[in-house]
Structure 1
């Protein structure tokens, strides 16, 4: 071995929590280092003339706690390597293995450097939390770090203890994270120096006042009591999964039980268009509701497969997460993307690599593959044209495409005239339909050259038509008329009036 480090715990605050073995070790140590001097036991150490070195200066030199912890562990490793025959004693608040990042780093690095690491416990803040706050950990609890709080991992059905609440700024971050799940007025408990005589302070406050509490420091924590309140649980993904499973269960809803992928297939399409409508109307309230309906369709289809044992919604989430990570090497990897076009190129490259790894024979695949079969025709035309253009099958300039539109329009005129002359036979009408399709296809080509999605362009025109037509209806109502009491000339006048009002 190339040295020895002994990590010891100073307890959660009160000197009475310090074990005799640790106290003797502290007094006898020739090389005593403490993570911070801001701990009640340090007064006892000073009173007995025990010499020590504090790492408080490291906190002043770095902007983030991870950087501080990394530097402290690095210095301790360096000290142990310089004096392999001497024991380095490192004292930390609480228990060395409870919410102590520096010791976690030492456990990893000491083994790599051949340094012997010994850990001696001390009462952690958890002991005092269970005692002073009065809840039994057997009910289930989460221990979280305030500096790395992720709302996605919060489990409201468990007690939640949050340590490392060093200051008001950290408490504010905790408050914002908790508000993703809990109501603003949810009661939480702040504990300062639990179990330390003369210093302990326990406050119950509504969540929105969490960062107004004074006295945050090294001995502070936050307790979020567990709850079974649906108002809280209903903000979690796990609860959604549970509800959908219940609806599909034998004790659930008869309608939901009967549904299959095919029976609700159309719902997915309808809900998608309802979301698009809220986007077009700039309606965030409606968008929230409609996005929920889309999510319900995802949950139902996933639940059906979970019942057969093929996959569940968490497999869906995992697959999506892995795809996003893999296809964004310029974000989660070492590549760079200076603009959106480069980012899209990375996406397509990684997508092709995925197919290769899956054993897909790209040499035998069409350049038009990947366009969903059941897309609306206008959108599908746009996508297959873009794919064809990528391999060079495209017009050189928009003027050529406009000429093509004129050509197709003339052919449609001729087909319609022929259809009328032949008495609208099935063959003539089919030919006219083909020419109409060619004209629409050419118009979609124009949309690519002017960088305008044809689906959006037509949707915009549809909305414009509805507005103007409804203006005509309103004018008829004001004038006490119906459609059979007006004529095209009068309606055209109101149409032009609607156009002027829009400009």
Structure 2
């Protein structure tokens, strides 16, 4: 025979907020236990002759909330051994009530029957008090568990369990990330005679109120688009939809995947430049520009019925989870090399490649040649087609240089081009062995060349075209020594 546990919502605190179903269950139960006696309904229960025990002593002995609720669940289980037990919890059992969650999670359904009798939540009472209706939707959040990803400024929100000024301060700081600082919010609490009172305050004063306790709640209104100071992906999507609408921007409406290609490339390079310059404010801006391109292309695809931004997000999330089975699955990867090997193996299976040549051909031909050659060599090395050490790659580089010297005396431009390509490919292989990105290395050299050339021009006593190569070379060497000295200072 199964043991019976009934969780009853005691309402917000007044006897008017206690449902008939809850009162009936409390009267008929052989064993009643309250999570806490710190609740306005307790005097009424005593007046009704309802006997109970409470679990307030567990709060005194528990090391932390995890231990507290573990002990509460154990007590309920022990009480249920001797007959049906009714567990009274504040408000609604399923709204911000961790004990209910723990009971549902921990009690074996083969051994226990669990009933839930709903009650009037503190959120219900607050909405009635301030006379607000969440027509578009309503979100209820528990203050101690609030995180950024739970916040939605489009919906009316009730925050419960704001039981002290410290919690209120944490909530305020979190909300100011998304809401206007002077947004009018409603804070409510229960008086000693079990009446609910509330006060309208600007958000920035949320943690400066006189009273906080287990009954303190807050109502946050939805925020209109025009008042927002912080935005999320949905807002960016909405802006792009407006710009592409019939009443939108003429330029944005004309764009296609093809016309936008150059902008995506430009924005990506600007991100790289901001990283190189260690300019975080610029990086912030440029990453936004790249994100805009992603949303732009997604909106164009959505208009054709192909996919939308949420499909894009879903696909990359699925890919990241699938390719990180050492995190989200049971495959073991003890180091970065094993991670890469697992990743490559999964990519081959996903794309249905039967040969390794298909893997090489899958590397986009539109990539800059230095990057593509690095990737091709990297993929080939995965099946053992590689030198044992950098010495072998260096020897190959010397061979290619010698072959280039041989053809330079002739007039066969195709052959010269071929040998230069071989030389560059071999140089990239040396860079790969030395774990140097050839694209970035060449970029650095270009910047170094320009800086040294600038030194020559600034320190020349006449126009450059009037100088001999020897004179310019002397200044070049001066610049070389100067920049070398600065590098080591």
TM-score by length of 1: 0.85
Distance in 2 of aligned mates of 1:229 and 1:301 = 23
Contact 2:179–2:223 under 8 Å retained in 1 = no
Distance in 2 between the 1:434 and 1:344 partners?
Answer: 32
Determine the C-alpha separation between the residues in 2 that align with 1:375 and 1:63.
Answer: 57
Tell me by how many angstroms 1:173 deviates. 4.1
CA distance in 1, matches of 2:108, 2:191: 34
Q: Which residue, out of 455, 463, 467, partners 2:439?
A: 455
- Does 1:299 find its partner at 2:280? no
Distance in 2 of aligned mates of 1:449 and 1:348: 19
Gaps in structure 2 of 5+ consecutive residues: none
Picking from 406, 410, 416, the partner of 2:408 is 416
- Provide the rounded CA distance (Å) in 1 between the counterparts of 2:342 and 2:61: 39
- TM-aligned CA deviation for residue 320 of structure 1: 0.9
- How far does residue 395 in structure 1 lie from its aligned partner after superposition? 1.2
Q: Contact conserved, 1:234 with 1:240, CA < 8 A, in 2?
A: no
8 A contact 1:128–1:195 mirrored in 2: no
When normalised by structure 2's length, the TM-score is: 0.87
Q: 1:383 deviation in Å?
A: 0.6
Taking the TM superposition and a 5 Å limit, the aligned residue runs for 1:196-211 are 197=194, 200=197, 202=199, 204-207=201-204, 210-211=206-207
User: What CA distance in whole angstroms lies between the structure 1 residues aligned with 2:189 and 2:333?
Assistant: 47
Q: Measure, in 2, the Cα distance between the counterparts of 1:342 and 1:214.
A: 57
Preserved CA contact (<8 Å) 1:13 1:194: no
Give me the whole-angstrom Cα distance separating, in 2, the residues matched to 1:176 and 1:370. 47
Residue among 298, 323, 326 paired with 1:330: 326
- Following the alignment from structure 2 to structure 1, what is the Cα–Cα distance between the partners of residues 193 and 415? 91
Are 1:339 and 2:323 an aligned pair?
no
CA distance in 1, matches of 2:431, 2:369: 14
Give the CA deviation at 1:493: 3.8
Q: RMSD of aligned C-alpha atoms?
A: 3.1
Once residues 389 and 243 of structure 1 are traced to their aligned partners in structure 2, the CA distance between those partners, rounded to angstroms, is: 46
1:240 paired residue number: 236
Instruction: Indicate the residue corresponding to 1:175 in structure 2.
Output: 172
In structure 1, stretches of 5+ residues that fail to align are: 420-427
1:440 aligns with 2:424: yes
- CA distance, structure 2, for counterparts of residue 247 and residue 316 of structure 1: 20
SS in 1 for 2:178: coil
* CA–CA distance in structure 2, aligned partners of residues 173 and 354 of structure 1: 44
Asked if 1 retains the 8 angstrom alpha-carbon contact of 2:153 and 2:223, the reply is: yes
- 1: distance between equivalents of 2:472 and 2:333? 54
- Does 1:468 pair with 2:449? no
Q: In the alignment, which of 401, 405, 413 is matched to residue 393 of structure 2?
A: 401
> Does the C-alpha gap of structure 1 residues 474 and 210 become closer, same or farther in structure 2, counting only changes over 3 Å?
farther
Q: Is the partner of 1:119 in helix, strand or coil? A: strand
How many angstroms does 1:375 deviate by? Answer: 0.8
2:134 and 2:155 in contact (8 A); partners too: no
SS at match of 1:123: coil
Structure 2 CA distance for partners of 1:165 and 1:429, relative to 1, 3 Å: same
Q: Which residue of structure 2 aligns with residue 33 of structure 1?
A: 33
Q: Does 1:218 align with 2:214?
A: yes
Q: Match of 1:17?
A: 17
Cα offset, 1:293, TM superposition: 1.3
In the alignment, structure 1 residue 272 sits paired with structure 2 residue 268:
yes
1:101 Cα shift?
Answer: 3.7
CA distance in 1, matches of 2:219, 2:360: 57
Secondary structure in 1 aligned to 2:337? helix
| Cross-structure match for 1:368 | 360
TM-superposition CA deviations, 1:28-83 (whole Å, max 9, x none): 64311111222222345467775433233444666665665565445434533x23
Asked whether the 8 Å contact 1:62–1:68 carries over to 2, the reply is yes
TM-superposed CA distance for 1:309, in Å, is: 0.9
CA shift for structure 1 position 462: 1.7
Residue by residue over 1:133-190, the C-alpha shift from the partner in whole angstroms, topping out at 9 and shown as x without a partner, is 3422225321123333242342212211122334445444433432442345555443
Q: Shift in Å at residue 224 of structure 1?
A: 2.2
State the match for 1:312 in structure 2.
308
Q: Write the distance in 1 (CA, Å) between the matches of 2:336 and 2:176.
A: 33
Aligned to 1:125: 122
Q: Aligned residue for 1:251?
A: 247
* Alpha-carbon distance, 1:336 to partner: 4.4
